[in-house]
Chains A and B, each alone.
Chain A
Amino acid sequence: MMPEFIQYEFMRNALAACLLISVCCGVMGSLVVVNRLVFLSGGIAHASYGGVGAAIYLGVSPYLGAALCALLASLVMGGISLRAKHRSDSTIGVIWAVGMAAGIILVDMTPGYNVDLMSYLFGSILLVPSSSLWLMGTLNLMVLGWVRLFYYDLLAMSYDEEHARVMGVPVRGLYYSLLALAALTVVTVIQAVGLILVIALLTIPAVMAEGFARSLGTMMIWSVLLSAVFCVSGLLLAYSLNLTAGAAIVMVATGGYFLSKLFGRMRGATQGY
């Protein structure tokens, strides 16, 4: 028996988008968490709003503008954080704010009210067109191919960067490519949950998986599964209760996170005896 929502094309697309987003979100989210790039990813996400504003002003696709702007921001932030790792957070904060402000002003300067603005802030997974699904699939292939080829290099860099350098791992190139793919992932995930909630969906599954996974690879797989569960159940919850999909997805993820913390604490307490 097919549930009734399957007959709507927008629900089929939304479910497919959930599953596709979960792949890049889980894999890149794991790398973002273990490399302590959560704040930097937040910076990229918000700075990309400048690209949305510019794209709306110029009359082109907002997601194209966001992607280009996110890539640019990741390049700049990567350069700053490679040069001064411990002092980079304030500069990232500045870029974060400048991107947002530029986006808002550019939208102000565009005549007429623009719907894309709201969908960008809070996500619009129910409006995902088929063409976006193809883009998500392409990004997933890029991410998976890249991780497959550089898995041990990424592991070495994430675990002990200096040792990785000594072992001849091309840390610089790897770091920039990690940020670039994280930027594209952030822009993609924004379609589902929006700019405001993207960091939650990127990090919560990865942090949960980190608690019990025994390798970076299993951590990635578990993050993908967890974000798929959160996205799909959040979407169905939103559908049945008529809620905003992005917010429902993040609430389900947060609920899962606190349950896992509680469960972990209970298990830790019993192991203590």
Chain B
Amino acid sequence: MFPPVVHAQGVCFAYDGHLVLEDVDLRVRKGDFLAVLGPNGGGKTTLLKVLLGILKPRRGGISVLGVPPGQAAHKVGYVPQHINIHPRFSITVEDVVLLGRMPHRSWWRCFGEADRSAARQALERVGMWDVRDRRIGRLSGGQRQRVFIARALANDPELLFLDEPTASVDRDFQTALYDLLKELNASMTIIVVSHDLSILSSYATSVACVNKTLFYHDRAEFTQTMLETAYHCPVELVTHGPVPHRVLKDHRCS
């Protein structure tokens, strides 16, 4: 039995006195593919940022890869939600990906041959090596998303965090992205924040539903209790099969 990759106990977080996360417990095992679902404003992204060490929790203990959040930078990959920051920034695609190698730099804080080849491999893996010399702002949303995934992969992570990776990409790339993640899942633990329930069907191995509190299920399915407690209102489950159909579950708003 391996120690958990992510272990959070009793985590609380508040913005300006407004409680966003309350008493959250979470254990993620090595090799898991955890889907973090929940309504908008429910605290999914906040949870991710707390686990990454970007935000400091008000209370509670967290260990990520056996150390406090933010201390295992050389083993963590992060694909943030907003890929449109600084669209005019003077930076090439290759340099963006190189920034994913920050924790591996030599003692005089420069990148070496190993870093450049890791960046190249990551760019080739997402099919973006050909546009390496372009300014990042010249790329389309989907291309930019791939570059940001390459930046996370360049770090050769054991644990990969993705925040809404399909928010700005088309349907085809979405499937390709999930296939890529499934492939990566063989060698790394993956935590994906999403409000796309289709991720559950064939990719995720466990689910956490966040709406201030967190409900965890170690199989890739949404339970009735999760829905009811997380969304507090009637929920419409839409699945994408060969013939579009929907599963409607109606329950009272609490």
Contacts and interface: CB of A to CB of B under 8 A. Distances in A.
A168 B90 contact: no
B168 interface: no
Contacts of B114: none
B80 A162 contact: yes
Contact of B78 (A152, A156, A159, A163): A163
Contact of B100 (A151, A167, A213): A167
B110 interface: yes
A164 interface: yes
Interface in B74-123: 74, 76, 78, 80, 85-86, 88-92, 95-96, 98-100, 102-103, 105, 108-111
B70 A168 contact: yes
Nearest to A153: B109
B105 A152 contact: yes
Nearest to B73: A168
Interface stretch (B24-32, B46-54, B190-198, B203-211): B46-54
A68 B59 CA distance: 39
B254 to A, nearest CB: 34
B53 A215 contact: no
Contact of B111 (A152, A163, A215, A216): A152
A159 B144 CA distance: 14
B129 to A, nearest CB: 17
A92 to B, nearest CB: 20
Contacts of B110: 152
B135 interface: yes
Contact of B90 (A156, A160, A219): A219
Nearest to B155: A167
Contact of A34 (B89, B95, B109, B135): B89
A34 to B, nearest CB: 6
Contact of B99 (A163, A213, A219): A163
A167 B99 contact: yes
A165 B90 CA distance: 20
A110 interface: no
B85 A160 contact: yes
A215 B92 contact: yes
B90 A218 contact: yes
Contact of B80 (A152, A163, A168, A216): A163
Contacts of A165: 52-54, 70
A150 B108 CA distance: 9
Contacts of B70: 165-166, 168
B95 A215 contact: yes
A218 B99 CA distance: 17
A215 B102 contact: no
Contacts of A216: 90-91
B238 to A, nearest CB: 32
A241 interface: no
Given A150-B109, A163-B78, A166-B53, A156 B86 contact: no
A159 B73 contact: no
Nearest to B71: A168
Given A149-B109, A159-B96, A214 B135 contact: yes
15 contacts: A34-B89, A150-B109, A152-B110, A155-B95, A159-B85, A159-B89, A160-B80, A162-B49, A166-B70, A166-B76, A167-B103, A168-B102, A168-B103, A210-B90, A219-B90
Smallest CB-CB A-B distances: 6 pairs: A168-B73, A167-B102, A213-B90, A219-B90, A166-B78, A156-B99
Interface of B: 49, 52-54, 70, 73-74, 76, 78, 80, 85-86, 88-92, 95-96, 98-100, 102-103, 105, 108-111, 133, 135, 151, 155
